[in-house]
Structure 1
Amino acid sequence: MINQYRKNIIQLIYEFYISCIKINDVKRIALIGSITTNKQKPHDVDLLLTIPDDLDLTHLAKISRRLQGRSAQIGGGADIFLANLNNEYIGRICSWKICKFGVRLRCDADNCGKREYLHDDLRVVKLSKELIDFPPLILFPNIVQNSSIPLDLEEGLIKKIVSKKI
């Protein structure tokens, strides 16, 4: 039986991927979290992007909010985790449309506003070095499976990405 929720989430991941690869300085896009397992209704989509320290996050934040909003409409969520070129976790994309120090009183980022759209709550969220180095599924620049993945990801995401490259 086709799980419509997973099918919809995978389509949203594909749309995010297409938007994200147009950002020149995004060096790697990886899929992590429960969507890479056979869990029928993953709580959210977790993506890990590798970027240079000087990348302007404005456009990436915009397409991330689109993914977050669309996945929320179908009962899910999305987190876009960021690593630098040394494969060090630096935080997540801020989900606020306006990300400036003093605008969000409840922002738990360590350095709110220091780098616009970087939610660096490193004392709250941590990604292991192993997960950053070997995420379950790398989508860009090349597809690399570091663990077994569900058939629906193979059919609904990887095959689409491969056929788009041809």
Structure 2
Amino acid sequence: MSLQAGDAFPSGVVFKYIPWTEEANDITACGIPINFDASKEWADKKVVLFSVPGAFTPTCSISHLPGFITSLPALKAKGVQTVAVIASNDPYVMSAWGKANKVTGEEFLFLSDPDAKFSESIGWASGGRTGRYAVIIDHGKVTYAAIETQKGTLEASGAEAVLAHL
């Protein structure tokens, strides 16, 4: 069942990621993947979560991710504390994608949804890959959730759409 505005963000949502560190900022540096308990970490925060079918893919790298990077100040001005991107790529790829885009710190997270487990649980995955969607979570409650229905579009999941719903 898909997420809808008014739903509680599911419990037990755990992603994998490699925390950003200054000493491992080089794109070739590998960190150690750890679990990120999103249900717990985001319970008392305002969060924008967006999902892409794959890191380093055309629409994701040319439009989707850059839109959120550019919009980070506007998102922060609307009270967003964390922006997170997920894909079914492994944590090493997600970490490298963040480094390739010069994103530093812990306010913008690059998370792995292994085997698209979370995305599958909300019905927004296909063939083991995450769909293209966006979710706004405000202190554990979903206030916006939408998936793209047309390939390569950002009408529901892009930064502009998310900003319009904050």
Coarse TM-score class (shorter-chain normalised): 0.3 to 0.5
Identify, as 1 or 2, the structure richer in strand: 2
- Which fold has the larger relative contact order, with Cα–Cα distance below 8 Å and residues 6 or more apart in sequence? 2
Bigger-Rg structure (1/2): 1
TM norm structure 2? 0.34
